[in-house]
Amino acid sequence: MNDLEQQMAENLVSIFEKVLVAEEKSLQKGYFSNLSLAEMHTLDAIGPYEARTMTETAQILGITVGTLTVSVDRLVKKGFVARRRDEEDRRVVRISLTRDGKLAARMHGKFHKVLAKHILEPYTDEEQELLLSLVKEVDEYLNTQVARYDNDDKIRQTAKDVAKDVRRRKTDDD
């Protein structure tokens, strides 16, 4: 690995870690400290407006319906998600955000927007466009890498364990 690749690798990992840590900390110190980051992302996946089915939501999050059911159970108990049977097809369960759920999701969305705003702020319009197009290309490349492992739950679990470990190490350092 040459020096440029080494720096790129380190910066990518560092960005990944710091975004996670910043999200966790903003949650812990904010109005919704009783929500974990994973739960917040579940609220995001459900979305603020239309009621979604469990299957749709699980697909968005890239998890099984069984895993989502556990998470939704907790979110229903905490008052962030409402669950009801579809009126036309009683076999289908639809989930939607309660008022508190909508509030939490919008506040969290704001966190992401403020972060992006501050990152872009120092640059000219042209530089911002360039930065965005480069970031999009990185994102597209990573999508192709993720797609390779789409059906491999073991690798997905390993990635989750690594992310969890990174967060734990960050917390220990603080």
Partner 1 sequence: MTTDSEVPRERKKDKKDQVYEDLINILTEELGVSPTDVDPTLDIREDLQFDSLQLYSFIITVEEAYDIRISDEQIDQVHTMNDLVDMVCGIIEQ
Q: Residues interacting with partner 1, by CB under 8 A?
A: 31, 49, 99, 102-103, 106-107, 109-110, 113
Looking at the Cβ atoms of 110 and 160, the one nearer to partner 1 is: 110
Looking at the Cβ atoms of 49 and 143, the one nearer to partner 1 is: 49
Residue 25 CB-density burial (10 A; 0-12 exposed, 13-18 middle, 19+ buried) = middle
Looking at the Cβ atoms of 26 and 68, the one nearer to partner 1 is: 26
- Minimum gap (Å) between residue 106 Cβ and partner 1: 5
Looking at the Cβ atoms of 78 and 156, the one nearer to partner 1 is: 78
- Helix/strand/coil for 47: coil
- Minimum gap (Å) between residue 102 Cβ and partner 1: 5
Residues 6+ apart with CB under 8 A from 75: 39, 42, 43, 81, 101
CA distance 54 to 83: 10
| Residue with token string 């999009």 | 136
- Minimum gap (Å) between residue 49 Cβ and partner 1: 6
CA distance 62 to 149: 11
- Minimum gap (Å) between residue 1 Cβ and partner 1: 40
